[in-house]
């Protein structure tokens, strides 16, 4: 039997052994048509918009009431994300729908998952048809992003939509589309190719093992030759494969970060390639781009080349100058090219064109009345309107629910306040998308209430909601240092008025608020506040930075950290004198994976409970951070939360209950006066 015949027989046997009767090889049929199982049991569509960036809304195909009640906006572009083999679902002015088919892509049967791509793609196509019929979407505005097997799911969705019609969806992005069973022949039907959408772009990162080698799109990018990626070892088999989505996600915030070279043809060395100044891999690619492209990246994050796009607006002539620069800081963007003796009043950083790790503009001062905003970014701006955007709400047992607004450098206001200089002061700083007063955010109010229930404290809620508002996380990150500087000025003034004592100040920050606390403390050096508690400090743009650019144990006499969702929004690294990792520090019991905010918020739930149950969270000391709590040793006098022991430093693990009360030790409640 010759080689060709052998391949054909193998393909047929593959069909016969893994394809059930209701799915034919090479033919898309209506899934689950025999009625033995409901397709909706195995596939879900999670909708995210700027109204609900963390908590998904489940779309139910065919349910008009469900669609009407959703945050879905027909006038916005729609992005569909489809995960790959073995995955589940761990979003400016667009909306993201994540197609969760984890039950049909589960280990260990890759062939079964391959077969299920037909079913899932067909079902997704039917959802798109229904949304189009309800005038909720327009096909040219749809962008489907598929990773690994998910890229082929996107193809079958495209085929389902194109049946008996000429119109196609706008774009499909294939992130290292799966190669096994697709590269040289397909066991079911044709996989993803350029016929499935008006524009198909492909990012190849692991053609050696998991990814497809063939050119299948309008534009195919072979990153670092496409075989394997720098920084990935041979042992970590999924590393190079996953780099495809890591590169793409980075390109959303840095659209000019991956410049490309166009190649005459594909070969293992990608020779005969010429730099193309107009082609950038990822988010911002021009949909007229055609060809094979070579891209080079760094071996660790940030992977991009970090090209900055900017526009300078000059006065009095109001002339503009545009430009690109490689690997320079924001400060350099502001200070260079001023030979015409006209200094810029405004520097517009094009949305997402600058990585936060490059922000370094502490010495730059523009016009005094220019505020930080998404479009006119002045970075660390010295605005005289900071008093309008940041408020300090004082609560004591005299006024537990009605706040007394402290005014900076207003001695009469301070004299009339209920602040008691002999009591300990708790300063509470909220995170991204929150406010101290809004009803939806009960972090600040909960911490206030438990402290005042325990004893008479000065509880100061720092409200920087105007500068931490959704949907732009990047803008909130930019505003941290400005807010922190003002918080530090307020603390310093109160100390100078003998209203506060530095060692008796305890700052509690949640998420981004933990880093606001850090920079406030850094501004107070060489003096140090008594304690900073970081409640799941934000990870994005802080995880791999130096101690000077995030919360660190050097920022206070005692720094304790509670990590509850280091998998996504929280920081993973131990950064305090004491770091607690409840339930391995990742997903918390009782929280489902799509709802990433649930695990993130558990940090302050646990801490609030510990204020009234100080010995409720006993912990075990670990030699180093590991996901296995069994490697840790029970430690007397080590408790997470309110009475965290500054004399017992290190890394600690513990377990909690899946619902309130979360503490496992419920026997020791302090007396409440």
Report which of residues 471 and 322 the model is more confident about.
471
Residues 365 and 423 in one domain: no
444 as an active site residue: the answer is no
| Catalytic-residue membership of 148 | yes
8-17, 278-287, 605-614, 656-665, range with greatest mean pLDDT: 605-614
pLDDT at 536: 97
Of the residues 363, 384, 405, the one at which a domain ends:
384
CB atoms within 10 A of CB 339: 6
Asked, for residue 536, whether it belongs to a domain, the answer is yes
Note whether 264 and 410 are same-domain residues: no
Determine whether 350 is an active site residue: no
Among 142, 106, 148, smallest CA distance to 124 is for 142
User: Greater confidence, 50 or 663?
Assistant: 663
Same domain, 187 and 101: yes
Query: Is residue 594 very low, low, confident or very high in pLDDT (cuts 50, 70, 90)?
Result: low
Question: Is 64's pLDDT higher than 90?
Answer: no
Alpha-carbon gap, residue 238 to 166, rounded angstroms: 38
Q: Which is more confidently placed, 266 or 376?
A: 266
Residue 16 sits in the same domain as residue 144? yes
Residue 111: what pLDDT? 66
pLDDT band at 237 (very low <50, low <70, confident <90, very high): low
In 443-504, DSSP assigns E strands to 458-463
Which has the higher per-residue pLDDT, 546 or 121? 546
Is the residue at 666 inside a domain? no
Last residue of one domain, picked from the residues 330, 362, 384: 384
Q: Name the domain boundary from 335, 364, 384.
A: 384
Choose among 171, 114, 165: nearest CA to 141. Answer: 171
Q: What count of Cα atoms within 13 Å lies in the side-chain half-sphere of residue 367?
A: 13
pLDDT at 349: 40
Six token digits for residue 24: 């034919």
Shared-domain flag, residues 290 and 210:
yes
Is 668 a domain residue?
A: no
Same domain, 447 and 517: yes
The 10s digit of each residue's pLDDT in 172-192 is 999 999 887 666 544 445 788
275 or 110, higher pLDDT: 275
Retrieve residue 283's tokens. 């988010």
- In the chain, what percentage of residues exceed pLDDT 90? 37
**Domain-located, residue 522:** yes
**What's the pLDDT at 335?**
38
- Domain-embedded: residue 417: yes
| pLDDT digits 0-9 by tens, 303-318 | 886 544 444 333 333 3
Examine the domain organization and report whether 199 and 130 are in the same domain: yes
In a domain, 456, yes or no: yes
Q: Give the pTM.
A: 0.49
Q: What is the pLDDT of residue 208?
A: 86
Q: The domain that contains 406 carries what CATH number?
A: 3.40.50.1820
pLDDT at 219 over 90: yes
Q: Assess whether 332 and 203 both reside in one domain.
A: no
Number of domains in the chain: 3
Compare 621 and 105 and report the one with higher pLDDT: 621
441, part of any domain: yes
Residue 516 has pLDDT above 80, yes or no: yes
Q: How confident is the model at residue 319 (pLDDT cuts 50, 70, 90)?
A: very low
pLDDT at 673 > cutoff 50: no
Active-site annotation holder among 152, 204, 218, 241: 241
**Could you report the per-residue pLDDT of 78-107, keeping only the tens digit for each?**
787 776 554 444 433 355 654 554 444 444
| Alpha carbon distance 70, 531 (integer Å) | 43
Q: Are 424 and 462 in contact (CB under 8 A)?
A: no
Whether 111 and 197 share a structural domain: yes
Q: What is the CA radius of gyration of the chain?
A: 28
Q: Are residues 364 and 418 in the same domain?
A: no
Distance CA 224, CA 212 (A): 15
What's the chain's average pLDDT? Answer: 76
Q: Give the model's pLDDT for residue 343.
A: 39
| Cβ atoms < 10 Å from Cβ of 532 | 31
Q: Which domain holds residue 377?
A: 306-384
Q: Which of 122, 148, 511, 610 is catalytic?
A: 148
CA distance 185 to 8: 9
d(CA 556, CA 577): 10
Residue 659 included in any domain: no
Q: Give the residues across from 404 on adjacent strands.
A: 394
Confidence of residue 120 (pLDDT cuts 50, 70, 90): confident
Are 448 and 521 contained in the same domain?
yes
Looking at the fold, whether 419 and 349 belong to one and the same domain comes out as no
Catalytic residue of the set 42, 46, 83, 176: 176
| Residue 8, pLDDT score | 26
pLDDT given for residue 302 in this prediction: 80
Tell me which of 57 and 557 has the higher pLDDT.
557
Q: What is the pLDDT of residues 283-294, one digit of tens each?
A: 889 888 999 999
102: Cβ–Cβ under 8 A, 6 or more apart, which residues? 83, 87, 88, 89
């Amino acid at each position: 039997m010759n080689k060709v015949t052998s391949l054909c027989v193998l393909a047929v046997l593959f069909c016969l052994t893994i394809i059930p009767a209701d799915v034919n090889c090479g033919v898309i049929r209506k899934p689950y048509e025999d009625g033995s199982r409901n397709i909706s049991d195995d596939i879900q569509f999670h909708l995210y918009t700027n109204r609900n960036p963390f908590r998904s809304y489940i779309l139910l195909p065919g349910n008009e009431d469900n669609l009407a009640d959703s945050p879905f906006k027909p006038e916005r572009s729609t992005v569909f994300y489809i995960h790959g083999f073995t995955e589940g679902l761990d979003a400016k002015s667009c909306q993201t729908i994540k197609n969760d088919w984890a039950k049909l892509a589960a280990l260990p049967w890759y062939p079964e998952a391959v077969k299920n791509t037909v079913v899932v793609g067909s079902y997704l196509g039917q959802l798109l048809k229904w949304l189009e019929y309800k005038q909720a979407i327009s096909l040219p505005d749809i962008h489907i992003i598929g990773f690994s097997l998910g890229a082929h799911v996107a193809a079958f969705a495209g085929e389902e939509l194109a049946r008996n019609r000429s119109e196609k969806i706008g774009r499909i992005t294939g992130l290292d589309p799966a190669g096994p069973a697709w590269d040289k022949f397909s066991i079911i039907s044709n996989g993803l190719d350029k016929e499935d959408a008006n524009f198909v772009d492909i990012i190849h990162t692991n053609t050696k093992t998991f990814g497809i080698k063939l050119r299948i799109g309008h534009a195919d990018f072979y990153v670092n030759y496409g075989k394997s990626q720098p920084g990935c070892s041979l042992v970590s088999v999924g590393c190079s494969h996953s780099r495809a989505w890591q590169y793409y996600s980075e390109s959303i915030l840095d659209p000019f970060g991956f410049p490309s070279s166009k190649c005459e043809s594909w070969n293992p060395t990608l020779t005969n390639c010429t730099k193309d100044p107009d082609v950038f891999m990822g988010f911002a690619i021009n949909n007229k781009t055609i060809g094979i492209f070579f891209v080079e990246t760094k071996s660790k994050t940030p992977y991009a080349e970090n090209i900055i796009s900017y526009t300078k607006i000059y006065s009095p002539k109001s002339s503009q100058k545009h430009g690109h620069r490689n690997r320079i800081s924001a400060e350099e963007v502001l200070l260079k090219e001023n030979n015409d003796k006209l200094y810029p009043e405004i520097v517009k950083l094009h949305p997402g064109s600058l990585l936060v790790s490059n922000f370094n503009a502490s010495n730059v001062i523009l016009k005094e009345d220019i505020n930080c905003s998404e479009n006119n970014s002045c970075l660390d701006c010295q605005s005289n309107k900071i008093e309008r955007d940041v408020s300090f709400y004082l609560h004591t047992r005299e006024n537990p629910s009605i706040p007394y607004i402290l005014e900076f450098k207003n001695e009469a206001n301070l004299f009339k306040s209920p602040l008691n200089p002999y009591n300990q002061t708790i300063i509470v700083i909220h995170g991204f998308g929150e406010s101290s007063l809004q009803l939806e955010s009960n972090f600040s109010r909960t911490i206030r209430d438990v402290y005042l229930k325990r004893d008479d404290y000065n509880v100061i809620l720092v409200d920087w909601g105007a500068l931490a508002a959704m949907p732009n996380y990047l803008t909130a990150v930019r505003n941290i240092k400005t807010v922190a500087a003002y918080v530090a000025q307020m603390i310093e003034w109160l100390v100078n008025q003998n209203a506060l004592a530095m060692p008796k100040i305890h700052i509690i920050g949640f998420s981004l608020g933990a880093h606001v606390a850090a920079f406030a403390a850094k501004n107070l050096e060489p003096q140090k506040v008594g304690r900073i508690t970081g409640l799941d400090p934000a990870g994005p743009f802080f995880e791999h930075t130096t101690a000077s650019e995030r919360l660190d144990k050097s920022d206070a006499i005692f720094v304790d950290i509670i990590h509850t969702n280091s998998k996504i929004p929280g920081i993973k690294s131990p950064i305090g004198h004491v770091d607690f990792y409840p339930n391995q520090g990742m997903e918390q019991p009782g929280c489902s994976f799509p709802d990433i905010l649930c695990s993130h918020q558990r940090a302050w739930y646990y801490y609030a409970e510990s204020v009234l149950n100080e010995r409720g969270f006993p912990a075990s000391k670990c030699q180093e951070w590991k996901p296995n709590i069994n490697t840790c040793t029970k430690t007397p006098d080590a408790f997470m939360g309110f009475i965290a022991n500054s004399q017992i430093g290190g890394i600690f693990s513990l377990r909690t209950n899946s619902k309130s009360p979360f503490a496992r030790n419920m026997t020791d409640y302090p007396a409440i006066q």
